[in-house]
Homo-oligomer: A and B are copies of this chain.
Amino acid sequence: MSILVVGTVAFDSIETPSGSAERVLGGSASYFAVAASFFAPVQIVGVVGEDFPKEYLDLFTHRGIDLKGVRREAGATFHWRGRYHEDLNVRDTVELHLNVLSGFVPRLPEPYRDSEYVFLGNIDPQMQLQVLDQLRSFRLVACDTMDHWIQGSDRELRRVLGRIEMLVINDSEARLLSGEHNIVRAARSILKMGPKTVLIKRGEYGVLQFSDSAVFAVPAYPLEEVFDPTGAGDSFAGGFLGQLARSGDQSQGGLRRAIVYGSVVASFAVEDFGLKRLNSLSRDEIEERYRRFVKLTDFHS
């Protein structure tokens, strides 16, 4: 079962307490796609500029990722520059150049219109709606968003939420979207907006999953070194949807195990700058850390 992701493919310039990296491969679709590719075939829809190097495209194709939906347009690639605080949960956006992303209209190659698993990465809700309009049949659509769209495109975002199955957002975004400070109330309020499942990412504190009938709470994998949290959320989403696509198991148990796989992939993603760690990762390492995760959290036996 293949997975379609629509989102940004970008240059990231990153500064963390552990060091810095200039114009490395980034963007929501990039992290999601590489993370998901350990589990299932992945197709990206996105846009890059004339300055986007072949070696970055090769990173995708080496992992078997289908780039037929990635258009190259005149102009420069989307570029984000961010700086993390000593507390890695806090970051400042220093520069943001939309470049070719502004005015981008996602167009799905014909075969992608029947994708079973779809992830709408963090882009303009208007673009997310354009993707939804092009889908013919699908099994599951999950989406991400951010404070910028919650504040500026509330109407469009609400329309997206009415049409998708799952929302994957972080805790501060959940609070902003719902107007509720308490995270349980925030999730319950978001469930009323449409999604059947809300996944709330809490960074180093783990993930909460809410549906009408169940709540699941899981901690993050504790790490001695976090080099770069960039892309952790999209790597989580990629591992999560990847495992769902691999297993085809959308039972509560299947969702929970997929959340743990997502957490495992995210824990690798933050161990080095950009996509570096994910690009050297193996399936065996993922399975090995999944087993450690079981031991880390098990008090049931």
- Determine whether the beta carbon of B222 is less than 8 Å from that of A183: yes
**Residues in A lying within 8 Å of B, measured CB to CB:** 86-87, 181-185, 188, 202, 204-206, 208, 214-226, 253, 256-257, 259-260, 294-301
Knowing A202-B205, A205-B205, A217-B219, say if A182 contacts B226 (CB, 8 Å): yes
Quickly give the copy total for this chain.
2
User: Which B residues are in CB contact (< 8 Å) with A298?
Assistant: 256, 300
Knowing A294-B300, A299-B216, say if A222 contacts B259 (CB, 8 Å): no
Q: A205-B205, A217-B221 given. 14 additional CB < 8 A pairs?
A: A182-B223, A182-B224, A182-B225, A182-B226, A184-B222, A184-B224, A206-B217, A215-B222, A216-B299, A217-B219, A218-B219, A218-B299, A256-B298, A257-B299
- Cα distance, A217 to B295, chains bound together (Å): 10
> Which of B188, B217, B224 makes the CB contact (< 8 A) with A297?
B217
**Nearest CB of chain B from residue A223's CB, rounded to whole Å:** 6
- Cα distance, A224 to B185, chains bound together (Å): 6
- Determine whether the beta carbon of A217 is less than 8 Å from that of B222: yes
- Determine whether the beta carbon of B206 is less than 8 Å from that of A205: yes
Query: Who on chain B is nearest to A220 by CB?
Result: B217
Query: Who on chain B is nearest to A204 by CB?
Result: B183
**Nearest CB of chain B from residue A250's CB, rounded to whole Å:** 14
Knowing A217-B222, A217-B297, say if A181 contacts B257 (CB, 8 Å): no
